Structure 1
């Protein structure tokens, strides 16, 4: 039996009703056969980054978070914009990974659940590239869920599921990783 292709998803918003989380859940639920997507539940539990707590002093939850990333074939990052910037929890999670071995050259797909948020997307791209993660630009997915009612969001995501846009986006990301077509 072939090992599943594992993607680990980071949601920048910790809200239960987050449109970015809803988008990640839709991607997970529409993943092509052989692809498993796990949405991180650890970001909101991580302590505030402190370089004095790296190395042998690294908290167990940070080690668990880093291990999930290390084991994944690629990452999906969904990021809202807060006050023209990255959400603090997501930035904190990324800060914990800066000096670790799990992230360099790890492929990343950025998804965004809003028609706006370009400031945060620019910052996220800069941070991920600085960390030596490999962005798969052709896999970028922007679905304007923000500001829509729950029913409208469900309808939009249902239409994208039926049209196979969500599963195609994941399949394209996997294909880019497997073929080595990753932004350097």
Structure 2
């Protein structure tokens, strides 16, 4: 099973990318997580650019989503919402059916105490507009994430690892 991971952070070595890598380690051997590494190459969305001849970065994103059996998005919270680059990427998918009933897990991981609750509240309506299917148990808000990982990105908090494993189990059970 091919699962696509999308990190809402462009920062190299971001905690959100590290959470996705931790999720990859929790997957069964029958599944593989590929992290999309091209959000920064996407042009700003504009409806007049969304034609049969979309920019290459958009084509790569759409192909990656289309080839995946499921998607996992992990995003930080910026200014009480999701980062603009993630919203831009999702906007490029509105005119498609790529997310239509595609199983999706949504994670917000933030160093703050609230853990990105507002980012999740911002992300979910966009995913609803895309008609993505978020199975029960496949959304997770992780607060104080930097205290739950070591410097190499390994999850060191048992509760966080268990929560991620439950999310993986729910997503795999649905798929």
CA drift of 1:149 comes to: 8.3
1:31 aligns with 2:27: yes
Asked if structure 1 preserves the Cα contact closer than 8 Å seen for 2:148 and 2:156, the reply is: no
> In the alignment, what sits opposite 2:38?
42
Equivalent of residue 68 in structure 1, options 45, 50, 64 = 64
> In the alignment, what sits opposite 1:89?
85
Runs ≥4 residues deviating over 6 A: none
Structure number with bigger Rg:
1
CA drift of 1:146 comes to: 3.3
RMSD: 2.3
Q: Distance in 2 between matches of 1:83 and 1:165?
A: 26
Q: Distance in 1 between matches of 2:24 and 2:94?
A: 26
TM-score (norm 1): 0.82
CA deviation profile, 1:46-89 (whole Å, cap 9, x unmatched): 11111111122311221111011011111101111101111000
CA spacing shift, 1:139–1:153, aligned 2, 3 Å? farther
> In the alignment, what sits opposite 1:118?
117
**SS class of match (1:8):** strand
TM-score (norm 2): 0.86
Q: Which runs of 5+ in 1 are unaligned?
A: 178-184
Q: Which runs of 5+ in 2 are unaligned?
A: none
CA spacing shift, 1:129–1:29, aligned 2, 3 Å? same
> In the alignment, what sits opposite 2:174?
176
User: Higher helix proportion, which one?
Assistant: 1
**SS class of match (2:145):** coil
